A and B are shown apart, each in its own frame.
Chain A
């Protein structure tokens, strides 16, 4: 910048020459300089103000713009992280011991209608009636024409049906998602699985809750998201269960029985491998409980775990085991079997007259009521009660089914002497077939009490669970084998599998009270195989069987329940990978002496 002097020499000299005051020039220059400075300062202040205004404007515009964007767009929750929790089903699967699916879920749809949105109500009603045969076109049309703005049509349907409804092309028909509980095997292990139904239900979701069987028993486990969808594994073996159900159904038909039940469990652990109760039902469409008549006639009645029956002579084994374990008798001890045995107004008879006395072994082999009654009397009522209690025959099952809590066996109110005698051969006490199977398993597995279970990871019995000594257990095994070899269960022999067991034929009590039917029986076979080292215990019970192939109807278990049990063993033993052993007569030969 060129700095102008306050007193430029040229102008001063000129002013001096013309006689003017040179100071004036200086003052003028000073004033001009002052003006210029002030103008510059003013300009700078203005610029600053403009800048400030611009900054504020920009700031307000930014805030305002952001507010505008927030106000006009849809709100999105800011995400700081993505959850990595696995997506699990609403309800866990149920699988068998090999992992085959017994129950799973299927996403299907529910169907509802908004009649006000419908284009062609008549076509919609007729189309729906064609897709769902149980719907009536006239009823549907009446519902669509009424004042209602929301009509439920189906709670659940198959994907094929859903596609068919789509194809109707009716905008007034709408779908809501539904998780459907599916039992892919149909009427299979029905009483174990039970069934489900919808709990709280909305248009877009419905809760699936168990109503019976393991579905109810493990409802909270199956619905617990903390399990991350881990399936519930049962001890059931699917092929074995299927074969058992098939053979039992055939046997029930051949023997003209009203109903049948079978339980197969592992002798050492009590884990139930297969359990069937016929007639059964499809858990996909679980029938409603009957409102009239005997609940035991309904297919939803589980005869294996709920049905209490007087199981007859199968109980004689407990009397014999008690006698041997307490040292009261050994297999060779002779027992007085002269009859009939009269006690007050009761007379106890045998099926045949077995003479004056039999060895304890033969009391079981020939199934003598008199012999076991005399044995039980000799040991007393308290000892009998204590022994049966030890075997778990006086308490409800600990099985994982909802009905177990009500399965306490029916025993006489007063355990009198006559009760002791009848209970010794299985009358006057009513237990479930599972009770019987567990007690047999406890006797033949070496004497450790097992508790029946449906789970694969149940605890094993320990020495603390001992009910009888290993020697008693061995004697019981010999007796049971002898019953099949030369006794009442001779039809139960299966080559290679060393079957042993005891029959029981009990007259059915008249439900209205007052004695027993003459011609209606509960026929039971309780056995184990292979007898040299029992692995499985099988109980088969037929309700009112009648073998009409002979000249007169045969109802005893030896002719009805035993052949069915033998056929079951013939089918399932190879399925379970059991190698037949054709050369193992050892324990049996010893028993003959």
Chain B
């Protein structure tokens, strides 16, 4: 009886020792993984800061100004001017519901187009 108890105790000790070792090694593996991740994060942060610096460098006012001048024929970007603000009453009211008369519809569209052209021609 006594011998059996000793045997059981020994078995338990072995069991727990194995378990403790396993946990220990798993923890170490996780810690290695974490430090690896942190190294990766540091590398990512560094490339992020380089990218941010490059983005800021590409968006420097001097370069944007040059780009605006280079692409003036296509984009026609001008410095923001007080006239560029619109009043709320300048916004057109929604068109009345469409009627069945196709001719009136077309002439209405042509009016709108002509109006848009006239606006564009303004300096």
User: In the complex the two chains form, is B53's CB within 8 Å of A182's CB?
Assistant: yes
Assembly CA distance A570 to B84 (angstroms): 12
- With contacts A82-B34, A87-B38, A496-B82 taken as known, whether A242 is within 8 angstroms of B56 at the C-beta atoms is no
Number of interface residues of B (CB under 8 A): 26
Is A185 in contact with chain B by the CB < 8 A criterion?
yes
B76-99 vs A: 1/0 string, CB under 8 Å? 000111111100000000000000
User: In the complex the two chains form, is B56's CB within 8 Å of A184's CB?
Assistant: yes
Task: Give the interface centre of B46, B56, B62 by most chain A CB atoms within 10 Å.
Answer: B56
Task: Specify the chain A residue showing the minimal Cβ separation from B44.
Answer: A87
Residues of chain A contacted by B65 (CB below 8 angstroms): 246
Beta-carbon contacts under 8 Å, B72-123 to A: 79-85
- Measured CB to CB, the closest approach of chain A to B81, in angstroms, equals 6
Is A101 in contact with chain B by the CB < 8 A criterion?
yes
- With contacts A87-B42, A107-B46, A239-B61 taken as known, whether A184 is within 8 angstroms of B79 at the C-beta atoms is no
- With contacts A82-B31, A82-B34, A185-B62 taken as known, whether A104 is within 8 angstroms of B82 at the C-beta atoms is no
Task: Point out the residue from B45, B52, B61, B81 that lies within 8 Å of A104, measured CB to CB.
Answer: B52
Is A378 in contact with chain B by the CB < 8 A criterion?
no
Residues of chain B contacted by A199 (CB below 8 angstroms): none
Assembly CA distance A235 to B38 (angstroms): 34
Is B19 in contact with chain A by the CB < 8 A criterion?
no
User: In the complex the two chains form, is B60's CB within 8 Å of A188's CB?
Assistant: yes
Is B71 in contact with chain A by the CB < 8 A criterion?
no
User: In the complex the two chains form, is B45's CB within 8 Å of A87's CB?
Assistant: yes
- Measured CB to CB, the closest approach of chain B to A529, in angstroms, equals 11
Q: Quick check: which of A26-34, A121-129, A411-419, A573-581 contacts chain B, the rest being far away?
A: A573-581
Is B18 in contact with chain A by the CB < 8 A criterion?
no
- With contacts A82-B34, A106-B50 taken as known, whether A575 is within 8 angstroms of B80 at the C-beta atoms is yes
Assembly CA distance A82 to B32 (angstroms): 9
Is A380 in contact with chain B by the CB < 8 A criterion?
no
User: In the complex the two chains form, is A184's CB within 8 Å of B34's CB?
Assistant: no
Assembly CA distance A89 to B42 (angstroms): 10
User: In the complex the two chains form, is B53's CB within 8 Å of A79's CB?
Assistant: no
Secondary structure of the B side of the interface?
A: helix
Is A243 in contact with chain B by the CB < 8 A criterion?
yes
Task: Specify the chain A residue showing the minimal Cβ separation from B47.
Answer: A107
User: In the complex the two chains form, is B82's CB within 8 Å of A185's CB?
Assistant: no
A556-593 vs B: 1/0 string, CB under 8 Å? 00000000000000110111000110000000000000
Residues of A in contact with B, size category: 20 to 34
Is A495 in contact with chain B by the CB < 8 A criterion?
yes
Beta-carbon contacts under 8 Å, B24-54 to A: 31, 34-35, 38, 41-42, 45-46, 49-50, 52-53
Task: Specify the chain A residue showing the minimal Cβ separation from B35.
Answer: A82
User: In the complex the two chains form, is A82's CB within 8 Å of B60's CB?
Assistant: no
Beta-carbon contacts under 8 Å, A79-105 to B: 79, 81-82, 84, 87, 89, 100-101, 104-105
Is A186 in contact with chain B by the CB < 8 A criterion?
yes
Task: Specify the chain A residue showing the minimal Cβ separation from B84.
Answer: A574
Is A467 in contact with chain B by the CB < 8 A criterion?
no
Is A238 in contact with chain B by the CB < 8 A criterion?
yes
Task: Point out the residue from B34, B60, B85 that lies within 8 Å of A186, measured CB to CB.
Answer: B60
Residues of chain B contacted by A281 (CB below 8 angstroms): none
Residues of chain B contacted by A573 (CB below 8 angstroms): 82
Task: Specify the chain B residue showing the minimal Cβ separation from A188.
Answer: B61
Residues of chain B contacted by A82 (CB below 8 angstroms): 31, 34-35, 38
Is A497 in contact with chain B by the CB < 8 A criterion?
yes
- Measured CB to CB, the closest approach of chain B to A258, in angstroms, equals 23
Task: Specify the chain B residue showing the minimal Cβ separation from A575.
Answer: B80
Residues of chain B contacted by A100 (CB below 8 angstroms): 56, 59
User: In the complex the two chains form, is A570's CB within 8 Å of B82's CB?
Assistant: yes
Residues of chain A contacted by B50 (CB below 8 angstroms): 106-107
Residues of chain B contacted by A574 (CB below 8 angstroms): 80-82, 84-85
Residues of chain A contacted by B80 (CB below 8 angstroms): 571, 574-575
User: In the complex the two chains form, is A101's CB within 8 Å of B56's CB?
Assistant: yes
- Measured CB to CB, the closest approach of chain A to B85, in angstroms, equals 5
Residues of chain A contacted by B41 (CB below 8 angstroms): 87
A522-563 vs B: 1/0 string, CB under 8 Å? 000000000000000000000000000000000000000000
Task: Point out the residue from A104, A246, A494 that lies within 8 Å of B56, measured CB to CB.
Answer: A104
User: In the complex the two chains form, is B62's CB within 8 Å of A104's CB?
Assistant: no
- With contacts A104-B56, A570-B82 taken as known, whether A89 is within 8 angstroms of B49 at the C-beta atoms is yes
Assembly CA distance A142 to B85 (angstroms): 66
Residues of chain B contacted by A497 (CB below 8 angstroms): 82
Residues of chain A contacted by B59 (CB below 8 angstroms): 100, 184
User: In the complex the two chains form, is A184's CB within 8 Å of B57's CB?
Assistant: yes
Residues of chain B contacted by A579 (CB below 8 angstroms): 85
Task: Point out the residue from A89, A104, A105, A243 that lies within 8 Å of B79, measured CB to CB.
Answer: A243
- Measured CB to CB, the closest approach of chain A to B52, in angstroms, equals 6
Task: Give the interface centre of B52, B53, B79 by most chain A CB atoms within 10 Å.
Answer: B53
Task: Specify the chain A residue showing the minimal Cβ separation from B43.
Answer: A87
User: In the complex the two chains form, is A570's CB within 8 Å of B81's CB?
Assistant: yes
User: In the complex the two chains form, is B42's CB within 8 Å of A184's CB?
Assistant: no
Interface residues of B (CB under 8 A from A): 31, 34-35, 38, 41-42, 45-46, 49-50, 52-53, 56-57, 59-62, 65, 79-85
Q: Could you jot down 6 A-B contacts, CB within 8 Å? A: A79-B31, A100-B56, A106-B53, A184-B53, A188-B60, A188-B62
Besides the known contacts A87-B45, A574-B85, 18 further A-B residue pairs in the complex with CB atoms under 8 A apart: A82-B31, A82-B34, A82-B35, A87-B41, A87-B42, A100-B59, A101-B52, A106-B49, A182-B53, A182-B57, A185-B60, A188-B62, A239-B61, A242-B61, A246-B61, A570-B81, A573-B82, A580-B83
The 10 closest A-B pairs by CB, nearest first: A242-B61, A184-B56, A184-B57, A101-B56, A580-B82, A574-B80, A185-B60, A82-B34, A87-B42, A496-B82
Interface residues of A (CB under 8 A from B): 79, 81-82, 84, 87, 89, 100-101, 104-107, 182, 184-186, 188, 238-239, 242-243, 246, 494-497, 570-571, 573-575, 579-580
